Amino acid sequence: MKMTVATCQFPVSSDIKRNKDYIVKQIKMAKKKGADVAHFPEAALSGYAGVDMPSHEGFDWNLLKKCTIEILNCTRELGIWVVLGTTHQLTGSHKPHNSLYIINPKGELIDRYDKMFCAGDETEQTGDLAHYTSGGYFSTFEINGIVCGTQICHDYRYPELYREYKKKGVQVMFHSYHAANVGSERLEAMQAAFMDYKKYNSGMTMTFPGITMPATMISYAANNFMWISASNSSAKESCWSSFFVRADGVTTGRLRRNAAGVLITEVDTEEDLYDSTVAWRDRSINGIYHSGTIVKDERSVDRKSF
């Protein structure tokens, strides 16, 4: 099965209309380049509370809805899938979800993924949890017969989610991030913790996100034999630029940091790629933690002699 993915990035901000204009422009670029699906960063349309704006106080929900409808109309006119980062309003005093809208080529919202692991502590008053309500639902859908899944930013810290998606047959993951809009003072403070180890780490900005996020995507791709589109905001300073990882863990393309762009990747799930764990991965997922056959041997059982 084949699918063409457009991994998109632009400087996400608190300006919903500006974000929408970038998104529509990049959807059109993706379609022109032959993409089946355009993938956008976390909170791409709405902006990211706690970073792009202090909170959701005074947030223009009516404008968000109007701009969402414009994007739905665009996808229908062009006939393209879109994975759209946004904020999903709940009722009453409940905090909204940090979400990905799955939009099909008919311009229909067919599913929604809500960030499962919003960063923060048990008080739910710090990090993401100060602004968002966590979700508890795995979103899967098919494009051209290829099973796809979705995750958002801090979800990457929980490998159990990738394993669960693997059990659901997911072949391509759309993982949206917002590791960007970092002020120069904060960036310098983040980098200061790594200066003694700069020569040992290859992160683009020498920050925790710049080191751990790309490395984890490469690891998850290879360990789960799963293609991964990693889309990030390019708002300066961005900790890393959007990229795509093949199922064998090879990064096949990367955009320029701090600049808007669209990365086109051809996915062929029948391509002959290296998969070192194919023989035993399902056993490991099911709790059998060894390859081959366990033998009964007294020298195997005795762990205190040599």
Q: Where are the domains of the chain?
A: 2-277
**53-82 confidence digits (pLDDT tens):** 999 999 999 999 999 999 999 999 999 999
Q: How far apart are CA 243 and CA 250, in angstroms?
A: 11
- Cut 0.75: pTM above it: yes
Angle at 58 between CA 55 and CA 59, to 5 degrees: 75
Residue 21 near residue 71, CB atoms below 8 Å = no
Q: Note if the bond before 237 is cis, omega within 30 degrees.
A: yes
**Length, in residues, of the chain:** 306
* 199 confidence band (pLDDT: 50, 70, 90): confident
Number of alpha carbons in the 13 Å side-chain half-sphere of residue 22: 28
Q: What pLDDT was estimated at residue 195?
A: 84
**Three-state SS sequence of 67-89:** HHHHHHHHHHHHCCEEEEEEEEC
Which is more confident, 186 or 236?
A: 236
Q: What pLDDT was estimated at residue 206?
A: 86
* 198 confidence band (pLDDT: 50, 70, 90): confident
Domain 2-277 in CATH 3.60.110.10 = yes
Other beta carbons within 10 Å of 55: 11
| Burial of 292 per CB tally in 10 Å (0-12, 13-18, 19+) | exposed
Outline where the chain has alpha helix (H). 16-32, 61-78, 159-167, 184-192, 208-224, 281-285, 298-301
Q: How far apart are CA 185 and CA 233, in angstroms?
A: 19
Q: What pLDDT was estimated at residue 187?
A: 86
- What SS3 class is residue 151? strand
* 159 confidence band (pLDDT: 50, 70, 90): very high
Q: What pLDDT was estimated at residue 203?
A: 78
Q: How far apart are CA 276 and CA 259, in angstroms?
A: 36
Q: What pLDDT was estimated at residue 268?
A: 98
Tokens at 283, concatenated: 């056993």
pLDDT at 49 over 90: yes
Residue 237 near residue 51, CB atoms below 8 Å = no
